[in-house]
Amino acid sequence: MEEKNINFNFDNSYVKLSDIFYSIQNPNKVPDPKLAVLNNDLAENLGLNAKALESDIGIDILSGNKIYEGSNPIAQAYAGHQFGYFTMLGDGRAILLGEHITPKGERVDIQLKGSGLTPYSRGGDGKAALGPMIREYIISEAMFGLGIPTTRGLAVVKTGDSIVREKIEPGAILTRIASSHIRVGTFQYAAQYTSLNNLKELADYTINRHYKEALDTENKYLYLLEEVIRKQSDLIAKWLHVGFIHGVMNTDNMSISGETIDYGPCAFIDKYDPNTVFSSIDSQGRYAYGNQPYIAAWNLARFAETLIPLLDDDKEKAVKLAQDAILKFNYIYKEKYISGMRLKLGLFTEEKEDENLIYELLGLMQKYKLDYTNTFRSLTLNKLSEEEIFEKDDFKVWNKKWSERLDKEGKSQEEVTNLMKSVNPSVIPRNHRVEEAIEAAVKKDDYSIMKKLLEVLENPYDYSDKQEEYTKLPKETKIPYRTFCGT
Ligand code: AMP
Ligand code: MG
């Protein structure tokens, strides 16, 4: 197999920006690269040859041991607010190999995550452990299956390195595909550490890459701001609809393209409680499930601040434009959240009372510690009568309201069920299932559990027999579930 059989089609535009935005940096060499998992479907969609990627030369490219012709590896510069504190960051353990043009003409970033030291590594080792890279791979594929904008995993390669974390862990590199890696933090970097010209350069680049329609508007930078706000409100609403908790919504982990990015201590909610936090590093609950819309608004306000010099020559006017745009977030977000929740209840039309119906159900779920996904699944399958909650008086009252509301629409049971099935996932990557898959891979080099899990997560709205097993909850334990950043 030859390198060119892989079919990468690099056309690198980021590297044409002023060099203050990145550092030229090759991935570090690794001792003994071995393929852990390859995403065949994604490879095919990208126009890549999976067979060639699996071959020795492919693994050399995916591990960073060889640079593909036309790739122009860089580490990107960015800054960010981490848990509220501003700091200089940058790709400390990731290398952008370049931008690949797919057969459909789409431009995607090909990034190696865990590929060694860069000028932005600060105190870190530039590496990633196998467990967290598999976790990112599984959860991002699950998000894709759920229809939520996300970066994707093309492959995970074990490096043959042993890396030091809490324990010694096998090292790994995730090849990540993103529509770009431009973050709120990239704009913060430009605003804080570069010139006005550089800021403009980044904004124009971003518009050209993601928001071309802005060029037909009166104020393209305002359009950029408004569109990013719209995309993020859509994204966060979708997260909440399926019970996703990102875990580290720092501004450097918020993508300007509106994709979910940088999966660290993320997890899906089980028992419904808006205060749920799984991340071991989030002791304050800053990034709790129910806080995510507020944090998104906060992060977007930081983004808006960076654009002020571009929004209008008159600073007062510029500030007003930024503020007005940010104030709209709550409204846009809520509209998206409520309309999605309406569908989850099988409602086709809008009524004023719907909001109460939704919040009352959530209140009951919280009160009776119900599993979020399975409650909607039971409602969808009309199976709630088999569960304890059905006997509770307050639930009976709610159920009656819901039935009456459904009756008003006059849709058939089948129509309602089909609508509900299309938005209420039957399966999510449950924490114990993800852990089980990671453990088998890391400790036993057994990827079969992960593959089975990925198979059911591919079509989460299928309600198929093989999914049944994956809807079950783990045995109750006293120890709360914790996720780790794995950095
Ligand atoms: P993350 O938590 O993955 O979003 O990373 C936050 C910042 O820390 C980014 O600038 C990363 O590049 C950097 N970082 C995380 N882990 C490492 C590591 N092992 N070595 C160097 N930099 C790291
Ligand atoms: Mg990050």
Ligand at shortest distance from the CA of 114 = 1
- State the closest ligand 1 atom to the C-alpha of 252, by its place in the atom list counted from 1: 4
Asked if residues 137 and 196 have their Cβ atoms less than 8 Å apart, the reply is: no
pLDDT score, position 283: 86
Q: Which CA distances in Å does 67 have to 8, 27, 53?
A: 11, 9, 13
Q: Is 454 helix (H, G, I), strand (E, B) or coil?
A: helix
Distance from the alpha carbon of residue 196 to the mean position of ligand 2, in angstroms: 25
pLDDT score, position 271: 95
Distance from the alpha carbon of residue 384 to the mean position of ligand 2, in angstroms: 40
Alpha-carbon distance of 153 to 38, in angstroms, equals 8
Query: Torsion-angle region of residue 427: left (phi > 0), alpha (psi -120 to 50) or beta?
Result: beta
- What is the mean pLDDT of the segment spanning 213-229? 98
pLDDT score, position 478: 64
pLDDT score, position 146: 98
Asked if residues 467 and 154 have their Cβ atoms less than 8 Å apart, the reply is: no
407-464: pLDDT as tens digits: 999 999 999 999 999 999 999 999 999 999 999 999 999 999 999 999 999 999 999 9
- What is the mean pLDDT of the segment spanning 294-307? 98
Per-residue confidence at 347, pLDDT binned at 50, 70, 90? very high
* 376 pLDDT more than 60: yes
* 280 pLDDT more than 80: yes
Q: Is 204 a catalytic residue?
A: no
302-315: pLDDT as tens digits: 999 999 999 999 99
Asked if residues 194 and 293 have their Cβ atoms less than 8 Å apart, the reply is: no
Percentage, residues of the chain above pLDDT 70? 99
β-strand partners of 111: 96, 176
Q: Is 126 annotated as a binding residue?
A: yes
Alpha-carbon distance of 194 to 352, in angstroms, equals 49
Q: Which of 91, 161, 234, 252 is catalytic?
A: 252
- State the closest ligand 1 atom to the C-alpha of 485, by its place in the atom list counted from 1: 2
Name the residues around ion ligand 2, CB cutoff 5 A. 252-253, 262
In terms of DSSP H, where are the helices of 31-129? 40-45, 50-54, 56-62
* 131 pLDDT more than 80: yes
Per-residue confidence at 388, pLDDT binned at 50, 70, 90? confident
Q: What is the mean pLDDT of the chain?
A: 96
Among the residue ranges 155-159, 168-172, 227-231, 478-482, the one predicted with the least confidence is 478-482
pLDDT score, position 485: 63
pTM: 0.97
69-124: pLDDT as tens digits: 999 999 999 999 999 999 999 999 999 999 999 999 999 999 999 999 999 999 99
- State the closest ligand 1 atom to the C-alpha of 89, by its place in the atom list counted from 1: 10
Alpha-carbon distance of 400 to 365, in angstroms, equals 16
Alpha-carbon distance of 137 to 222, in angstroms, equals 35
Binding-site residues, ligand 1, Cβ < 6 A: 89-93, 120-121, 124-127, 248, 253, 262, 264, 485, 487
Q: Which residue minimizes the CA distance to atom 12 of ligand 1?
A: 92
Contacts of residue 171, defined as CB under 8 A and 6 or more positions apart, other chains included, come to 30, 114, 127, 128, 129, 130, 158, 159, 160, 161, 162, 163
Distance from the alpha carbon of residue 100 to the mean position of ligand 2, in angstroms: 22
Asked if residues 121 and 93 have their Cβ atoms less than 8 Å apart, the reply is: yes
Q: Is 113 annotated as a binding residue?
A: yes
Q: Which of 485, 429, 38, 436 is nearest to 263 (CA)?
A: 485
pLDDT score, position 385: 77
Let me know if 439 is exposed, middle or buried by CB neighbors in 10 A (0-12, 13-18, 19+). middle
* 486 pLDDT more than 70: no
Q: Is 70 helix (H, G, I), strand (E, B) or coil?
A: coil
pLDDT score, position 384: 78
Q: Is 92 annotated as a binding residue?
A: yes
* 479 pLDDT more than 80: no
Among the residue ranges 287-291, 340-344, 353-357, 382-386, the one predicted with the least confidence is 382-386
Contacts of residue 399, defined as CB under 8 A and 6 or more positions apart, other chains included, come to 384, 390
Q: Which of 213, 195, 190, 239 is nearest to 90 (CA)?
A: 190
* 487 pLDDT more than 70: no
Alpha-carbon distance of 203 to 228, in angstroms, equals 12
Angle between helices 431-444 and 130-146 (to 10 degrees): 140
In terms of DSSP H, where are the helices of 349-412? 354-367, 372-380, 393-409
Distance from the alpha carbon of residue 93 to the mean position of ligand 2, in angstroms: 10
251-262: pLDDT as tens digits: 999 999 999 999
Q: Is 230 annotated as a binding residue?
A: no
